[in-house]
Structure 1
């Protein structure tokens, strides 16, 4: 009785290495894309000091593409990970639990891999909905566990390389012992898993791939819903900025020749328009027409040196991103604006009235709203 409880029998015929390898290939691709694009997102959002001045501001759609791929691949990984776990879970009940030192290391690495993968997919999915039911800061923990998951995947591939090689192809010698009658069932299972991954991707990716916005059944954001036809993550009320009136607003620009500008003076400076996407880490993005003053012109107004960067400080009283910094590539880009208008209309309070920062190839969380101060950095 004890042996039967510890080593249950599984009647399903598809809990085999070949099925696990087939699903693992797809899951591996999804994880690889998600990890690579996640690194890009983290560097752009939290650049190291030595790299910050030289981060590229082009292509303008760069961050929109990479973050869209990051969230899309993470969403696609949900059904793939569940299917992968389904195929291999009988092995969790194998007995004896540890047969050798190598076996112990293998099982430990699998435990770390499963825990890290489930954590990354679950927390990433909740982040797209801006729901954080945990006591830790999402960004640093998610980033750290991503490296743990990547290392676990590499270790797992190294340990399982012989089995993966044997079951990689349909007609590889290692698969001859598998019953031929399982072929139709395996193909049906793989087709169902592929369909599920495709369905969740198509019904969410429209929040960034706007031609598919009509299919955003599962996406937490629709790219057209919001003031001036653009979504809002953080409202003026949530930021605690209060009512900002045009007559009382002042923009302070520091530098060799510091100055203070009223809203009317900003409006009287040369105005430029740029069509730029705003792309948020939660996965949604949309292009819009922005109009305002070039940040490069303001730096020239205060006599900033050519290699100078800029620090934008918001009027909001709290928030982890009320201050953002741009290196010289962003600061001198002619498309980087202190925007006063959005899609032909004056900014609404939720979009950062009276002025906000907008720059190409930059995470939305760093497109500072309600800007009250620009500081030249060298």
Structure 2
């Protein structure tokens, strides 16, 4: 009898009430990830109608939303594992299909579980810049997000009666203490992984950053880099040979010395990556709008920024009107009072408020005014 009791207690935790309790947290996390993912996708690849309306304030906006996206995604790992453990007996029940309706329900659960596991796995390994697959990460991650949300909504609709029946703990629930221990343990696991990883995005937690792939304050010039000058084929760039070409109604070309003679401005702005890390720095350089005005650009024009690197998915980026004409958007020449290092985009790079780091183009060679 004593040997059977622990097994029976564990089996009694594989029930609808436990699944519902964990599912509440899991569902909230999925919603947060989906909403922040929409923000990230909209800022990275906005549709044409949204381009003139992209916000530049708050300047920390993308840093907060993407940091929350990655921190929540990591927190979903223990939640998802506990949820699957709670429903494991039903996942492998025999016979697997008992009716047409049951078959449809099982199929929806299979899609939900597969999409959740794959989405969390892809996001997690992306934070470490590890891509052991042949397909591009971002479009697949984006498409899977919609599959996951659709499957979640379908699952909630199918299970609505069970969820409603077990949403709150009943006073006569004999499993309360056991379930409470499981949920407390799950909450502790979520807290630990959050505290030891979120510091890559939120400076107050930086001293606790033990498991995060990046520690921004330990990087060269205080800001991490994802692509080095050597990887971009620009390690041997000679400053005396570099030229900035500004193409517009009144095109002109500047040397680095000429660019340094223009009025210089300093702005403290964060650079935030889709992988979750972020760091703030004091950037000094020439305001992009000053260059546009000199080139005779019409007010409200968009701008295309072209990097000197010969390959790479983000060698060309577009500054929508709100960013191109914002007083804080700089063609930066220095970071924290020091000349940009080659890895940070020497001799010049773009830095703009509330903008994904992947679009803060480095090694700028040409700025084009668009109609």
- TM-score in terms of structure 2 length: 0.96
2:344 corresponds to 1:351: yes
Aligned counterparts of 1:248 and 1:25: Cα–Cα separation in 2: 59
Once superposed, which parts of structure 1, at least 4 consecutive aligned residues long, lie more than 3 Å away?
none
Residue 94 of structure 2 is matched in structure 1 by 95
User: Which runs of 5 or more structure 2 residues have no equivalent in the other structure?
Assistant: 1-7
Aligned counterparts of 1:18 and 1:24: Cα–Cα separation in 2: 10
2:213 corresponds to 1:214: no
2:192 corresponds to 1:199: yes
Q: Relative to structure 2, which stretch is displaced further, 49-58 or 273-282? A: 49-58
Residue 370 of structure 2 is matched in structure 1 by 377
User: Displacement of 1:251 after TM fit?
Assistant: 0.3
Residue 281 of structure 2 is matched in structure 1 by 288
Whether the 8 Å CA contact 2:332–2:351 is kept in 1: the answer is: yes
2:51 corresponds to 1:52: yes
Aligned counterparts of 1:199 and 1:233: Cα–Cα separation in 2: 27
Aligned counterparts of 1:243 and 1:61: Cα–Cα separation in 2: 34
Whether the 8 Å CA contact 1:128–1:220 is kept in 2: the answer is: yes
- Post-superposition Cα deviations, 1:126-147, rounded to whole Å, max 9, x if no partner, equal 0000000001000000000000
Structure 1 residues 11 and 336: alpha-carbon distance in aligned structure 2, compared to 1, 3 A threshold: closer
- Post-superposition Cα deviations, 1:39-97, rounded to whole Å, max 9, x if no partner, equal 11011111112212221111100000000000000000000000000000100222222
Residue 330 of structure 2 is matched in structure 1 by 337
- SS of 1:238's equivalent in the other structure is coil
Aligned counterparts of 2:345 and 2:237: Cα–Cα separation in 1: 10
Give the aligned length: 364
Residue 240 of structure 1 is matched in structure 2 by 233
Aligned counterparts of 1:259 and 1:221: Cα–Cα separation in 2: 40
Aligned counterparts of 1:192 and 1:287: Cα–Cα separation in 2: 35
Aligned counterparts of 1:140 and 1:264: Cα–Cα separation in 2: 41
- SS of 2:283's equivalent in the other structure is strand
User: Displacement of 1:240 after TM fit?
Assistant: 1.2
User: Displacement of 1:185 after TM fit?
Assistant: 1.2
User: Displacement of 1:11 after TM fit?
Assistant: 5.8
User: Displacement of 1:254 after TM fit?
Assistant: 0.3
Residue 139 of structure 1 is matched in structure 2 by 138
- Post-superposition Cα deviations, 1:209-263, rounded to whole Å, max 9, x if no partner, equal 0111111110000011222121111111111123222210100000000011100
- SS of 2:200's equivalent in the other structure is coil
Aligned counterparts of 2:201 and 2:326: Cα–Cα separation in 1: 24
- TM-score in terms of structure 1 length: 0.94
Over the aligned positions, Cα root-mean-square deviation in angstroms equals: 1.2
Q: Relative to structure 2, which stretch is displaced further, 279-288 or 11-20? A: 11-20
Residue 79 of structure 1 is matched in structure 2 by 78
User: Which runs of 5 or more structure 1 residues have no equivalent in the other structure?
Assistant: 1-8
2:180 corresponds to 1:187: yes
Residue 362 of structure 1 is matched in structure 2 by 355
**1:319-334 equivalent positions in 2, closer than 5 A:** 319-334=312-327
Whether the 8 Å CA contact 2:264–2:287 is kept in 1: the answer is: yes
- Post-superposition Cα deviations, 1:341-360, rounded to whole Å, max 9, x if no partner, equal 00000000000000000000
Whether the 8 Å CA contact 1:53–1:326 is kept in 2: the answer is: no
Residue 5 of structure 2 is matched in structure 1 by none
